[in-house]
Chains A and B, each alone.
Chain A
Amino acid sequence: MISIDGVSQTFKGKSGPVEAIRDISLTIGEGEFLTVIGRSGCGKSTLLRMVAGLLKPTKGEVRVAGEVVREPRRDVAMVFQKPALLPWRSVEDNIMLPVEIFGRRKADHRAQVDRLLETTGLTAFRKRLPHELSGGMQQRVSLCRALIQNPKVMLMDEPFSALDALTREELAVELQRIHMDLGTTIVFVTHSIQEAVLLADRVAVLSSRPGQVRRLVEIPIPRPRSFGHNAHMDQVAGVSAELHSLLLSDTHLPKTSTL
């Protein structure tokens, strides 16, 4: 569904060019859930923005559904770290925003909005304004707004990282269910090993400065997965430990003093 082919990105910084991404190649299959994990500043968001068509690669190219990405596509939905809701629009009107912008008929999407509100437990809050909702609920609205696009691909940029730990887990489990139901291809950027292990088919571990794929780790644990006690705790612990050591042994970072 997505092929990233020798993509590099160099920004012009004040003190010379900054190489954010170097020669990344990845292929993401239809319906696959790929998690991109790395330390902050390793260029994971940059990579995602290039897939989204928000940023042009300095070198290489990205294809979605066989077509080279030169600008954003309407069958690719983004979910940002911030919910990015319009503060004057109610929950349901925020979800309808893409429908309006695409110039589609709102009446045709009412039923889908109802279903999305139902799935995310927001039905009782549909008329509320964003500032009346908790952070977790706001991010659910933002997820619904992405899903109303009926996207082939969802690109998620640390969508849960501003939330408290329990809400994050809750939302991650919800996202897993949505992915299992819809089979949307998802690229999910995070710095949480836990989220990566819960959600991903494969995890791309990036190294820092410049961002390069250090390793692709398969997560063969059957779904639905869950946090806490479950039948695959050994496997979860094993994969988590592997990701942990990959991230900590990132040699491109200057060594800090001993902890």
Chain B
Amino acid sequence: MTDFDAGSRTSRVWTNVGLPILGVIITVTGWWAITAAFHIDPFYVPSPADVVDTFLRTPEFLLQETWTTLQRVLIGFAIAVALGLVIAVTLAASRTVERMAMPILAAINAVPKVALAPLLLVWMGFGDSPKIVMVVLVSFFPVIVSTMAGLTSTPDDLQELTRSLKASWWQTFVKVRLTWALPQVFVGLKVATPLAIIGAVIGEVVNPDRGLGSVIAGSGASNDTPLAFAALVLLAVTGVVLFYLVAGIERLLVPWRVAK
């Protein structure tokens, strides 16, 4: 608990791995206790055991659907990140472009994406592409905003330094501003990760074919609440894994920030 034992290896493992696991165990136990104590009908809220049973009934099917959703999330997220970075760099490079484009981008971001799902169906039909587009639409904005915030947050002293060295715009950008922006970029990526999953699920629920969103949509038709819960748990696990993956990449790329 104190700073004294924070350094020793066992206590570090305990804080980094033990405590999160303990948190999960307490939460699941609490969920279980509530469903058992109040005799809640599994049709409304299934107990953890019901969910696990459902999963074990058709594990290959559910994992297959998870993989489908995950693929859509990853492809969409990659496009969103690439697009977001390019747009942010362009906007940060030119005041004029920024002034012109910002209202449009904010407007696009403000449109409820669920409302676009039927349109995407009209434009792209069934299959992967409307879902991937939904992922991009939902998750690109935080990447732009945070990257721009990062690119414009170069401290005055570093700006004066590059000016006094007569560094070119490009040198300043590559050697100072871009790297300086990285921690902020990662803030945006961490916000965008769960949004990407939400985007994929919106796409699949509104326009179901395959994937966990389609499983949830189908479970409603067959009154199979535990199946919906199993799909939700799988989505949550996917979200956590992706989040920690992004945090891990941040650790690798931005060691000076994490070390503070």
Chain B residues with CB under 8 Å of A100's CB are 171, 175
The reply to whether the CB of A41 lies closer than 8 angstroms to some CB of chain B is: no
The reply to whether the CB of B86 lies closer than 8 angstroms to some CB of chain A is: no
Chain A residues with CB under 8 Å of B163's CB are 54, 72
Q: Contact partner of A80 among B160, B166, B171, B260, CB < 8 A?
A: B160
- Taking a contact as CB atoms under 8 Å apart, the answer to whether B164 and A131 are in contact is no
Size of the B side of the interface (Cβ < 8 Å), in residues, is 22
Tell me the smallest distance from the CB of A187 to a CB of chain B, in Å: 14
> Known contacts A84-B158, A86-B158, A88-B256; is A78 also within 8 Å of B171 by CB?
no
- A84–B177 Cα distance when bound, in Å, is 13
Q: From A81, which residue of chain B is reached at the shortest CB distance?
A: B157
> Known contacts A80-B157, A88-B256, A131-B256; is A54 also within 8 Å of B162 by CB?
no
The reply to whether the CB of A28 lies closer than 8 angstroms to some CB of chain B is: no
Chain A residues with CB under 8 Å of B167's CB are 101
Size of the A side of the interface (Cβ < 8 Å), in residues, is 26
Tell me the smallest distance from the CB of B115 to a CB of chain A, in Å: 43
Main secondary structure of the interface of B (DSSP, over half): helix
The reply to whether the CB of A97 lies closer than 8 angstroms to some CB of chain B is: yes
- A131–B256 Cα distance when bound, in Å, is 7
- Taking a contact as CB atoms under 8 Å apart, the answer to whether B160 and A84 are in contact is yes
Chain B residues with CB under 8 Å of A130's CB are 256
Chain A residues with CB under 8 Å of B17's CB are none
Q: Contact partner of B164 among A52, A86, A88, A129, CB < 8 A?
A: A52
- A84–B159 Cα distance when bound, in Å, is 9
- A88–B256 Cα distance when bound, in Å, is 6
Q: From A84, which residue of chain B is reached at the shortest CB distance?
A: B157
Number of A-B contacts (CB under 8 A): 59
Tell me the smallest distance from the CB of A90 to a CB of chain B, in Å: 10
The reply to whether the CB of B107 lies closer than 8 angstroms to some CB of chain A is: no
Interface centre among B161, B167, B260 (most CB of A within 10 A): B161
Chain B residues with CB under 8 Å of A84's CB are 155, 157-158, 160-161
Q: From A74, which residue of chain B is reached at the shortest CB distance?
A: B166
Q: From A53, which residue of chain B is reached at the shortest CB distance?
A: B164
- A100–B166 Cα distance when bound, in Å, is 12
Residues 38-94 (chain B) with a chain A CB within 8 angstroms: none
Residue-wise, chain A 111-125 has the 8 Å CB interface mask toward B (1 for contact) of 000000000000000
- Taking a contact as CB atoms under 8 Å apart, the answer to whether B166 and A72 are in contact is yes
Q: From B257, which residue of chain A is reached at the shortest CB distance?
A: A87
- A76–B163 Cα distance when bound, in Å, is 12
> Known contacts A86-B158, A101-B171; is A131 also within 8 Å of B165 by CB?
no
29 contacts between A and B (CB under 8 A): A54-B164, A72-B164, A72-B165, A74-B165, A77-B164, A78-B164, A81-B157, A82-B157, A84-B155, A84-B157, A84-B158, A86-B158, A86-B175, A87-B256, A87-B257, A88-B179, A88-B254, A88-B255, A88-B256, A97-B165, A100-B175, A101-B162, A101-B171, A129-B255, A129-B256, A129-B259, A131-B256, A131-B259, A149-B165
Binding site for A on B (CB under 8 A): 155, 157-158, 160-167, 171, 175-176, 179-180, 254-257, 259-260
Binding site for B on A (CB under 8 A): 52-54, 71-74, 76-78, 80-82, 84, 86-88, 97-98, 100-102, 129-131, 149
